[in-house]
Structure formats: C-alpha cells, structure tokens
Amino acid sequence: MELIFEKSVPGRHGTILPRSDVPRANDLPAGLLRGESAGLPELSELEVVRHFSNLARRNFAVDTNFYPLGSCTMKYNAKAVDEAVRPFAGAHPVLPYLSSGEAFVQGSLGVIHQLSRLLAEITGMQAFSCQPLAGAQGEMAGIMMIAAWHRSHGQQRRFVVVPDSSHGTNPATAAMAGYEVISVPTAPYGDMDLDAFTKTMNNEVAAVMMTCPNTLGLFNPHVEEICAIAHRHGALVYCDGANLNAILGKVRPGDIGFDVMHVNLHKTFGTPHGGGGPGSGPVGVSEQLLPFLPSPRVTQRTDGSYCLVEAGEQSIGRLANFYGNFGVLVRALAYITMLGRHGLVEVSEQAVLNANYVMNRLKGWYDLPFDSTCMHECVFSASRQMKHGVHALDIAKYLIDRGFHPPTVYFPLVVKEAMMIEPTETESRETLDAFIAVMIEAADLAETNPEALFQAPRTMPVSRLDETKAAREINVCCQ
Amino acid sequence: MSGSGYCPQTPEQIREMLSVIGVGSIADLFAVIPAELRARSFELPDGMSEFEMLAGMERLAGRDRRNIVPFIGGGSYDHLIPAVVDHLAGRTEFATSYTPYQPECSQGTLQALYEYQTAICRLTGMDASNASLYDGGTALAEAALMALRITGRKKILMDAAVNPFSRQIVRTYLANLAVEIVEVPAVKGQSDRQAFLAALDDETAAIVLQNPNFFGGVDDFSDLAAAARDRGVLSIVAVYPLSLGLLKTPGEMGADLAVGDGQSLGNPLCFGGPSFGFLVVKKEHIRNLPGRIVGETVDKDGRRGFVLTLQAREQHIRRQKATSNICSNQSLCALRGLIFLAALGREGFAELARLNYDKAQYAKGLLGSVRGVLLVTAGPSFNEFTLSLPKDAATVSERLLAVGIAAGIPLGRWYPGMESCLVVTVTEKRTRAEIDTLATRLEEVLWS
C-alpha cells in the first residue's frame, strides 16, 4: 500500500480552518521562520479517510481476531468504557494550579482519587499514585521510591535482584535507577530457585522484583517467604503487577508482604491497548513508603472536595507532564465500577479456567516445560516440533493464516522456543476450541509437511519480512 | 450475576471445561495458593450495568465546570481537532491491537507509525524519530539520558525557560545517576546566552533549550548549538510542534536532539493525558534512541513492508543494557497526531500556525496596552506571551476565573520574583470577542 506521502498532490487542500477574525500581524523576522513549509501530505478528506481505513484493515485486533498474546492480557474492551471518557475530554490540566482553579475540575480530580482508592483495596496496598504513564514507568517510580527509602535510612545499596524469567523492563528499570542487576535462575518447578535466591541475598541488595503470578503463569507458593527473606536483609520487595488479571479477589500483594507494586490498567482493567499504547501503570505502596510517592498527589479534604497537593521533600518528584494518562484512568474507573466485586472475581476465575483448558487440551501436542495448574496463561515449548526443523515462529505465522493472532513467542527467555498463551476471560469456549484445533493442525503439519509452516503466512498483505535488512539498511523516515 | 465480567462461558460449558482439566471446581484451580496468602479483604462496590455506570460517570464529570474561556497553556493547549481524527483513530483495529510484534498481521499500525516518524522528522527538520514516547516531559528526560550515554559526561545545562514540569521530570529521571543538573536562569523571559557560554565546559553532556520557551518567547538557538558543538556538547531543543508550521526548526538550528509533546496535534486536553512525546535525532544517534522504531524492509516476495527494527536496543532483548526501560509507547495518540497532520495537510498546517500567531499578536497588542500592564516578552513570540501586571498575578487570575476566564498562568510558583507575571496563551480557538472581553475584564480587575 502506498505511503500517505506518496498519495500527495501538490496544491490539494484538506480540513478548512475558521477564517481569521483579527488583523494579519507583522511577520516575525525571517531568521526565526522555517525555510519552507513542512512536507506534509496534500490530500482531500476522503483520501485521508480511505488511507487510514485501509491501513486499519491490515491489523489483527481483539475486536476482529482472537489475540492470545501472553503477558499482555488482550481482553475485550467494553465499549461503554470508551464512552465514559467523553464528558471529561475538555478538562484543562493547568486549572488546579490557578487560585480557586480546583473548583473547576472536581470531577476530574475525583476520578483520580476514586481510582486510587479502589486500586488500593484491590491490591492491599496503602495508597496509589496514578501518575505513571505505563507499567515500565510504574516500575521506575517503585524502584526510585525504594532507593529514596534506603537513602532516608542513610543507605546507598548497589543491587536489585530479579528472577531470570522476569519481564525485560525489570532489569532495565533497575539500571535506570542506578542499580546493578543480579539475576536468579528458575528452578525446575518453574519458580525462582529459592536456594539460589537465599544465597544471593546480602545487605547490599536494595530490592527484589517479583512478578506475581510469574511470567510462566505460575503462582509461587513461597512468595511470602521470599518477601520475609528480603526484609531480613533490609531489602524491599517490588511486585510487577502485569499478571494481576489472574488473582483479583484471590490474593492481594499488599497482604503478603510486597512493599511496592504497579498495575497495568490496559491489561487487567480493560482499557484498549491502542496498537502499543497509551497504557497506564499506577504505582501502589505500603505505609512506610507513602512519603516517597510521586508528586503531585490528589487528596480529599474533610468537606469531600478534592485537591492537588505537592508532595514533600521525600517524594521522588514528578513523572509526567500532568497527572498520568488521565483518559486511561477514566476508563479503568468505569471498568471497575461496572464489574464490581463479583465481576472482578469472575474475571480471574474465568481467565484461569480458560488458560487451564487450553493448556490441558494442547499438552498432548506440545511440550509443557512446567506441567502444573497454571494461572491466567500457560507457556508451551515448540521443542518437540524443533526435531522437524519447525520453530515457534513458524507455528506463529501459520496461526496468522488461520485468523489467530499468535501467542507471545520466545518469552520468557528461560523457556526454549517459548509460546505463551493468554486466552483471557472474555473468550468463548467456541473460540478456544477453534484455536486449539488450529494449534493441533500446526503440530501435525510440523511432522507431515513442515514446508507448509515455513511458507506461512500467505494470506496477509505481506509474507515474512526481512528484519535483518531493516536493521542493516536503516530506513525509518521516507525522504 | 453470571456474565458480569464479559465472560461468555455458560454453566454447562464451565462444567465441561473443568472435567477436561480434570478438576471438580474452579476453586480447585486456585488450590496452589496457600490459605494464609488469600486476600484479607476485597470490599468493592457491587457491579452495575453500563447504563448505570455511564450515568454515574456523567454525574462525576458534571462536577467539572466547563463554562470557562481558557487562555492557559503550559504544555496543554486548546486546539481544534478535525472530526476525522476521532473517527479514524477510533477504528477498533487500531485501538484494540497491541505492539506490532507480529508484523504480517500488524501492517496497519506499522505503516502508520512509519508515516508518523516521517511526519515528525519533516516537521522538526531532523533525521530520525522513534515511534513515540509517553509525553513531552519524559521525552526530554530520555533525551537527557541519551546525551549522557553518547558523551559519557555527567552534567546537563538546562535553561530555566524550559517548562518547569518538564524540568521536574528530568530531575526525577536523573536523581539516582550521579549527574549534575545546572539550571541557567532566564533573564526577562529570555535564555541568557552569556551565562550559557560561560557555563559550557568539557564536562557538559548537553544543553537543554525550549522554543518557544515557557514565557512564550521565540528564539533561534543556532549560535548556542554551534558553541555547544565546539565543546563536544549535544544540544537538545524542546519544541511545541504546532509552532513548527511557522517557526525555524530544531534541524535548521543545528540541534542534535529535539523533543516535544504531541498533545497539540489532535489530542484533546483530557486533563493532561494521554498525549504523546516525540524524540527526533540526527542520523548518527539513531542506535541510541529509546523506544520502538519502525523501519521499512521487504517481504520474501520483494514487496515493501514494515517491522519494528533495531530491537537490540530494547529492554525485552537487552534487559539491563537496554537504552531505556520503556516498553509501550503512545501509539494511538501518535496515530491521532499523524491523522491530524494529514487532514490539515501542508498548507492547512502552516495556516493553522499562522492563525495562532495572528490571534496571539492581536491579544498581545491589546493586553499590552491595558493601563499599567507591561510586556515581559516584548520581543518575538508565537501564541503565548508574558505580561507583567501592576498587581499580584495569582490574585488577578483568581478574580478573572470568577468571571469565567482562565486568563493565564501566574509565574510566581515557579519563578520567584515574577509574582506579578502571567503567561497568556491564545490559540486559534479564541475569538476576537473573547480576547476583547479579556482585555476589558483585566482592566476592570486591575483598576476598579
């Protein structure tokens, strides 16, 4: 498909702007002006509409295809949740910084405050800041709060401990906060190796970062013990909440000793993923970390009104232009409000049911490195298919031809040829069965006709793409 | 209530599925969680229908007051958004997909992001863009981190005329990295060239500037960028993208890195988010960029296609050695930016910038002539300018707010000594009548 720039016709005009109702001002000095106008496309509105409508048709999405991308919780996004944002779209974020300006945004401040309170109850943490703009930024806020907490105790520690199955954001976050990373291996039963962990711990460790349930889709029954060991060494424990969708109403990280956690609103709380974002990653803390939360904070006065408060000296400071990805916060509040207590518990129960169903139906065809009851996702290996030269990637590409978005492949790194399937709670048994049938078909083809898998996909606008060429002959902007 | 969580399985199906799994109940699936680790509380309200929820959200939104004429900016601007932006970005194939890890079934998002990168490069006059970052402030922080990595130096010189929120974000990001941040005070709303030149040394990784600056002043930083280059220092210029319909680009100034917030390009105010940040660089720095980058390539049959590229920079491959911890971007907001730019087109975008300029110049002339009011940014400006009032600006602002006008941002909070100053923003949406009313009301508040 042509680029929008290639469709441009010089002199064609798009959206008509209002006529000016003021006199034309004197021009700025030439030295302050751009040499020529920016090379934007010149198209009619219809041409713009066709272009983007046709681009949209080149995407798989939750609304068009089953999208079991593990670790990403691609659940259906209720349309009412999008509708909820509309009445908030006009709120100007600078108003709270004007004297008496808070009175103009009581509803918007209320969204942030109410959502923070609900997240605290859901996770068992003391308080939340909704400012982090994504999960990775929530992690960064968390590790920075931990660093600030150690500083407040006169300590400057060196290390952050992460399991080798963790999301890449965990070690990358630790590095951004100035820490060295210690990676702990995964034991044969799929949890962080407890002995190795215990030996790793020392008084130079600032934090331990755990994903709960972990990235293999398993709940670690020793998680409380791990928190206790970390605390004995004066370290704090961070919970990566990416997999919260499995444990709503079942487990609250705050109850079992986690000191900080983030939640991904775009995963667990049903907000659209937007082709890569915006997400949102509110961060919650236990009581001892309250003074370190990002600034500003939204609080409620005794008369019920909401206000914005610049946090004190110990706060890690500001993370975002304003108060976070507010539009995403509204959607998450709408989602939680609509589902309520029972609805959220049902989310986790059905997500776990669906994942175990897929796991059990497929384990005759694919290797299951950790064969125990899973939580909301399961991780297979294509190692059996490897004997026929078939990789996880080939199976992924075949799924595309059959109308399914592939699972996450090659993550977690600790599983060879990993295929991580997260069906989510919103998928019907019929969809799961259709997916399972195609996965079985792929396993059969791996033995009987691997070439069919190597050729996939054949039904998309493009066949397999040359990623090496993209990285070697860099072209990220058309001339 | 069954199905309250958008869960489609019937009781019969649930029974069958449990028997396939080989357990008796859903509770058995959670048996791995020891009793002592179970949730101690889950006191949430009961759920409700979407109709009740929406009515409740309308009530909450009703506590916001919208009967206000905004002359405030400060990083979030009240601009027109063509109807096609909502319509096209609302296509659920864009909204309900995710990061395009599987390129063959994500060419829509990938091509759109490649086009976005191209549009942002053309707007800024720079060589290479990533596929967006969270917002303008975090883009600036990532640019500062990039400069530290590239130069191996440990000092950042930052203009105090840069948006105070952005400066706070840079401080947060750099807090644990043993980096010195030196703020160069602005003089009368302008960057202090002598102070910058005096402070530049071989320890400096980058100078950080903003155009137009927080006071609204428009500048050409070519000289500072050149002086920086002579000392091996990188120049980072933060820009207001809509102003680039008119103003000299960071590329033309010789900047090494440019950043900005994309809210003004088709994203609603929405209480400050989501918007998107952009980070554009000279070609030689592309491998140091954080975040997703889309590149052009060909498929097995020689057809053009697009993929995420240079992924060896990123956290999911490189873990602690990645250029950033960033994972998601603001793809849908970046898409809105692209559609906005495409809808207005080459001429329309330049015209929009001109409209902002003309309206603001009219307002500047009018407000500057109100008795006792002085222009701090008497020199060149775009759609913002700073007034010095004969009274405390916060008090004046409060009184104008009471009559439905958000007249500007009082500066005292961030700039001690500037308590009488007010930054006024005039976008294309403000009418001549609204501007005239502001002038009249301001005069009344000051003198009656």
Q: What is the CATH number of the domain that holds A385?
A: 3.90.1150.10
Q: Does B213 touch chain A (CB under 8 A)?
A: no
In a shared domain, residues A218 and A350:
no
User: CA nearest B337: which of B143, B94, B117?
Assistant: B117
User: Is A418 found in the same domain as A438?
Assistant: yes
For chain A, helix, strand, coil in percent to 5 are 40, 10, 50
Is B368 touching A (CB cutoff 8 A)?
no
| Helix, strand, or coil (residue A421) | strand
CA distance B192 to B190: 6
- Start-to-end CA distance of chain B, whole Å, equals 63
B7 touches chain A (CB under 8 A): yes
Which structure tokens are listed for B350?
């330049």
Q: What pLDDT score does B410 carry?
A: 98
Within the 100-139 window of chain A, which residues sit less than 8 Å (CB to CB) from chain B? 100-101, 103-108, 110-111, 114, 118, 121-122, 124, 133-137, 139
Domain boundary among A337, A363, A395: A337
DSSP string, A173-212: HHHHTT-EEEEEPBPTTSSB-HHHHHHH--TTEEEEEEES
B65 close to A (CB below 8 A): yes
Strands A205-211 and A236-241, bridge-based pairing: parallel
Assess whether A141 and A109 both reside in one domain.
yes
Tens digit of each residue's pLDDT (9 = 90 or more) over A25-52: 999 999 999 999 999 999 999 999 999 9
* CB nearest to B30's CB, from A25, A169, A250: A250
- Specify whether A94 is located in the same domain as A185: yes
Residue B331 identity (one-letter amino acid): S
Task: Tell me what pLDDT residue A479 has.
Answer: 83
A221 and A114 co-located in one domain: yes
Rounded distance, CA B146 to CA B130, Å? 13
**Cβ pair B125, A34 in contact under 8 A:** yes
CATH 3.30.360.10 correct for B83-339: no
Q: Are residues A317 and A205 located together in one domain of the fold? A: yes
Give the A:B interface size as CB pairs under 8 Å: 710
The model's confidence at residue B448, banded by pLDDT at 50, 70 and 90, is: confident
Locate A374 and state its tokens. 């899973």
Q: Does B12 touch chain A (CB under 8 A)?
A: no
Residues A310 and A353 in one domain: no
B8 → closest Cβ in A110, A337, A428:
A428
Whether the pLDDT of residue B1 is over 50: the answer is no
Domain final position from A315, A337, A359: A337
Q: Are B428 and B356 in contact (CB under 8 A)?
A: yes
Rounded distance, CA B61 to CA A447, Å?
A: 59
Closest CA relative to residue A269, chosen from B45, B40, B272, B6? B6
Residues of A in contact with B76 (CB under 8 A): 92-94, 321-322
**Has residue A52 been placed in a domain?**
no
* Structural domain contains residue A473: no
Q: How many Cα atoms are found within 13 Å in the side-chain-facing hemisphere of B69? A: 21
State yes or no: pLDDT of A337 exceeds 80. Answer: yes
B3 pLDDT exceeds 60? no
Backbone angles phi, psi at A8, to 5 degrees: -65, 140
The answer to whether A465 contacts B294, with C-beta atoms less than 8 Å apart, is no
> What average pLDDT does the structure give for chain B?
97
Query: Which of B33, B102, B398 comes nearest A99 by C-beta?
Result: B398
For residue A123, give the DSSP letter.
Answer: H
What is the domain extent for residue A207? 82-337
- The tokens of B152 are what? 């191996």
A228 lies in some domain: yes
The DSSP letter of residue B294 is E
Asked if A153 is an interface residue toward chain B (Cβ–Cβ < 8 A), one would say no
Structure tokens at B362: 């009219």
Q: Are residues A282 and A409 in the same domain?
A: no
Integer Cα distance of A159 and B261 in angstroms:
34
Last residue of a domain, one of A303, A337, A371: A337
Which residue is it, tokens 């130096």? B153
User: Contact, A392 vs A383, CB < 8 A?
Assistant: no
Q: What is the CATH number of domain B69-78+346-447?
A: 3.90.1150.10
Q: Looking at residue B2, what is its pLDDT?
A: 45
Q: Is B189 on the interface with A (CB under 8 A)?
A: no
Residue among B30, B53, B276 minimizing CB distance to A337:
B53
d(CA B269, CA B274): 9
- Does residue A248 sit in the same domain as residue A374? no
Residues of chain B with CATH 3.90.1150.10: 69-78+346-447
Closest C-alpha to B434, from B78, B64, B76 = B78
Residue A316 lies in a domain: yes
The answer for B 190-209 residues in CB contact with A (under 8 A) is none
- Residue of B386, B76, B393 lying closest to B216 (CA atoms): B386
Calculate the average pLDDT of chain A.
97
In angstroms, the separation between the Cα of residue B369 and the nearest Cα of chain A is: 16
Do A379 and A412 form a contact (C-beta atoms < 8 A)? yes
Specify whether A185 is located in the same domain as A303: yes
Sign of the dihedral defined by the CA atoms of residues A255, A256, A258, A263, in that order: negative
- DSSP bridge pairs for A238: A209, A260
pLDDT tens-place string over residues A307-322 = 999 989 999 999 999 9
Chain A residue whose CA is closest to B250 = A34
A307 shares its domain with A393: no
Per-residue pLDDT tens over the stretch A322-334: 999 999 999 999 9
pLDDT tens figures, B189-213 = 999 999 999 999 999 999 999 999 9
Q: Provide the chain A residues 314-343 that lie in CB contact (below 8 A) with chain B.
A: 316-328, 330, 333-334, 336-343
Chain A contact present for B151, CB below 8 A = no
pLDDT level of residue B66 (50, 70, 90 thresholds): confident
Contact A326 B245 (CB under 8 A): no
Whether residue A320 is found in the same domain as residue A373:
no
Query: Cβ contacts (< 8 Å) between B421 and chain A: which residues?
Result: none
Distance CA B180, CA A26 (A): 42
Report the complex ipTM: 0.98
The residue behind tokens 């000289």 is B223
CA distance A237 to B406: 45
Q: CB–CB of A219 and B33 under 8 A?
A: yes
Q: How many CB atoms lie within 10 A of CB B172?
A: 23
Answer yes or no: is A133 within a domain: yes
| pLDDT above 70: residue A155 | yes
Give domain status of residue A43, yes or no: no
**The one-letter amino acid at A123:** T
Domain count of the fold of chain A = 2
Q: Where in chain B is the domain with CATH 3.40.640.10?
A: 83-339
Q: What is the CATH number of the domain that holds A252?
A: 3.40.640.10
Residue A404 lies in a domain: yes
State the pairing for strand pair B384-388/A378-381.
unpaired
Is A476 in contact with B128 (Cβ distance < 8 A)?
A: yes
Q: Is residue A3 part of a domain?
A: no
User: Which candidate, B311, B335, B316, B313, places its Cα nearest to that of B327?
Assistant: B316
Question: How far is the C-alpha of B113 from the C-alpha of A405, rounded, in Å?
Answer: 20
- Buried (b) or exposed (e) across A345-356, using 16+ Cβ within 10 A? bbbbbbbbbbbb
pLDDT score for B4: 62
pLDDT in tens, A157-180: 999 999 999 999 999 999 999 999
Q: Which of B247, B314, B328 sits opposite A134 (nearest CB)?
A: B328
Look up residue A411 and give its amino acid: F
